[in-house]
């Protein structure tokens, strides 16, 4: 009896399913039988066909059938499944490559740059596009290409900016600024709208949260790596002031030397000349290291103001420690300090000179070892400070000897 009624309505049910968007024949058989069973069950409880069929249609809902069909076809699409697996494996290996590269970078081993750049390039050019394409294809409802596109641009710019920054290529700051802009005025509002639209109905999509976190992590990381503008300005101001003072003091010393040539005994003149020559040698070393650092981060001959922002923990290591005269400078400066200590008998003047040459003390030695982990501007500033100390000590010592 019931079976007969359903058989009579078979074509109609089938037509309804087609109207609701079902086209895949093999799934059609399954769902037709399933729905008929549901209707039968309702009818066995005494309802008539019409009301129980409408009830079943209500429980199915409008968009449900295309979604099920989409999911089934994706499950069966081996090419798509392979693409998905490939995406994950690929993303994982690119990430590992990048992380190993960062480790190499940290240890200052060769090959770090190329690993980071290749790793991040693979992430940006292969993994991210594949990832957004697959996750977009998996969605059925409310497909909106704006989400993946904004998401992709944000992440791609962030990562590209980060790798440009690491490699000191131009344009890094621009990229990072634009990507943070995308994050704040594109991605976050879109994402919040999405959450509110779906609230209560569907869970928030995890990938988007992950992306948001990655974005925030990048921004935090970069702001930590970069010296803040304020601090940078303090360092450059101090460094320039030091350089100006060195010039001034050296001018005064030149006056003293002129005076010495005219008036003092020959043996004292020899001592004064020795002090002056040593001080000059030390200044030459400092200038050499300063120039080396600037050449490392920018055009040789650029001024420190042009490159102050090029934060870079390699310039000092390279231009002071590895290929610079850092350790020779410290040794010579210590000899200079020892010599002045011997020549100057007055304890008050001796203490003054000791203050000027404080950087030759063991404390400063320790600080000098941190050159490799300090940004350019800090190392530059420390060198100007040493130069100032040398110039002042030289002046004080010569003035003392002249007035004796």
Partner 1 sequence: MIANDLLKGTLRTIILKLLADNGRMYGYEITKKVEELSTGKIKLTFGALYPVLHKLEADGHIATEIEYIGKRVRKYYALTETGRSWTAQKVDEFFDFVNTLTYVLKPTPA
Task: Provide the binding-site residues for partner 1, judged by CB under 8 A.
Answer: 3-4, 6-7, 10, 26-27, 29-34, 36-38, 64, 67-68, 71-72, 74-76, 203
Return d(Cα 351, Cα 355) in angstroms, integer.
Answer: 6
CA-based nearest residue to 115, from 102, 105, 101? 101
* Nearer of residues 12 and 335 to partner 1, judged by Cβ: 12
Which two three-digit tokens encode residue 315? 């310039």
* Nearer of residues 33 and 365 to partner 1, judged by Cβ: 33
Q: What angle is formed at CA 16 by the lines to CA 14 and CA 20, rounded to 5 degrees?
A: 120
Q: How far is the CB of 52 from partner 1 (least distance, A)?
A: 15
Alpha-carbon dihedral angle through residues 90, 91, 94, 97, given to the nearest 10 degrees: -110
Residue 271, CA distances (Å) to 124, 339, 350, 384, 392 in order = 65, 10, 16, 26, 17
Q: What angle is formed at CA 39 by the lines to CA 36 and CA 42, rounded to 5 degrees?
A: 150
Q: How far is the CB of 155 from partner 1 (least distance, A)?
A: 25
Q: How far is the CB of 68 from partner 1 (least distance, A)?
A: 5
Q: How far is the CB of 57 from partner 1 (least distance, A)?
A: 13
Q: How far is the CB of 30 from partner 1 (least distance, A)?
A: 5
Q: How far is the CB of 31 from partner 1 (least distance, A)?
A: 7
* Nearer of residues 10 and 109 to partner 1, judged by Cβ: 10
* Nearer of residues 30 and 322 to partner 1, judged by Cβ: 30
CA-based nearest residue to 187, from 220, 142, 163, 157? 157
Q: What is the CA radius of gyration of the chain?
A: 37
8 burial via Cβ count (<10 Å: 0-12, 13-18, 19+): exposed
* Nearer of residues 64 and 310 to partner 1, judged by Cβ: 64
* Nearer of residues 207 and 255 to partner 1, judged by Cβ: 207
Q: How far is the CB of 143 from partner 1 (least distance, A)?
A: 18
Return d(Cα 109, Cα 125) in angstroms, integer.
Answer: 26
Return d(Cα 98, Cα 92) in angstroms, integer.
Answer: 10
Residue 14, CA distances (Å) to 4, 9, 29, 41 in order = 16, 9, 9, 18
* Nearer of residues 29 and 346 to partner 1, judged by Cβ: 29
* Nearer of residues 30 and 233 to partner 1, judged by Cβ: 30
* Nearer of residues 33 and 355 to partner 1, judged by Cβ: 33
CA-based nearest residue to 18, from 69, 93, 52, 76? 69
* Residue 203 exposure: Cα atoms within 13 Å on the Cβ side: 4
* Nearer of residues 71 and 144 to partner 1, judged by Cβ: 71
Q: How far is the CB of 78 from partner 1 (least distance, A)?
A: 8
Q: How far is the CB of 75 from partner 1 (least distance, A)?
A: 4
| Residue 390 near residue 282 (C-beta atoms within 8 A) | yes
Return d(Cα 99, Cα 107) in angstroms, integer.
Answer: 12
Q: How far is the CB of 35 from partner 1 (least distance, A)?
A: 8
Roughly how many angstroms between the first and final C-alpha of the chain, as a whole number? Answer: 131
């Amino acid at each position: 009896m019931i079976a007969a009624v359903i058989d009579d309505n078979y074509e109609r049910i089938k037509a309804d399913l087609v109207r609701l968007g079902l086209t895949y024949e093999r799934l059609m058989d399954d769902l037709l039988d399933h729905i008929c069973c549901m209707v039968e069950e309702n009818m066995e409880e005494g309802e008539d066909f019409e009301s129980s069929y409408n009830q079943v249609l209500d429980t199915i809902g409008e968009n449900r059938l295309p979604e099920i069909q989409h999911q089934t076809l994706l499950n069966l699409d081996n090419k798509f499944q392979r693409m998905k697996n490939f995406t994950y494996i690929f993303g994982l290996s690119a990430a590992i490559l990048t992380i190993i590269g960062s480790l190499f970078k940290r240890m200052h081993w060769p090959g770090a740059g190329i690993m980071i750049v290749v790793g991040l390039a693979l992430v940006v050019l292969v993994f991210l596009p594949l990832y957004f394409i697959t996750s977009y294809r998996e969605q059925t409802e409310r497909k909106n290409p704006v989400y993946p596109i904004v998401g992709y641009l944000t992440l791609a710019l962030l990562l590209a900016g980060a790798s440009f920054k690491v490699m000191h290529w131009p344009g890094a700051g621009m990229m990072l600024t634009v990507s943070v802009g995308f994050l704040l005025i594109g991605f976050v509002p879109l994402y919040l709208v999405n959450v509110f639209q779906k609230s209560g109905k569907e869970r928030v999509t995890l990938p988007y949260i992950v992306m948001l976190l990655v974005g925030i992590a990048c921004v935090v990381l970069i702001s930590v790596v970069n010296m803040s503008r304020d601090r940078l300005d303090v360092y450059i101001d101090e460094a320039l002031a030091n350089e100006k003072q060195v010039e001034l003091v050296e001018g005064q010393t030149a006056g003293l030397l002129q005076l010495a040539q005219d008036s003092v005994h020959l043996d004292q003149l020899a001592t004064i000349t020795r002090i002056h020559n040593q001080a000059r040698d030390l200044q030459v070393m400092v200038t050499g290291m300063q120039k080396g650092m600037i050449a490392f981060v920018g055009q040789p001959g650029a001024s420190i103001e042009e490159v102050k922002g090029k934060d870079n923990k390699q310039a000092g290591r390279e231009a002071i420690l590895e290929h610079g005269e850092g350790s020779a400078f410290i040794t010579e400066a210590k000899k200079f300090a020892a010599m002045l200590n011997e020549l100057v008998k007055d304890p008050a003047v001796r203490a003054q000179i000791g203050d000027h040459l404080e950087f030759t003390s063991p404390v400063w030695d320790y600080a000098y070892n941190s050159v490799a982990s300090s940004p350019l501007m800090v190392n530059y500033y420390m060198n100007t400070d040493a130069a100032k100390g040398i110039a002042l000590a030289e002046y004080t010592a010569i003035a003392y000897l002249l007035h004796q």
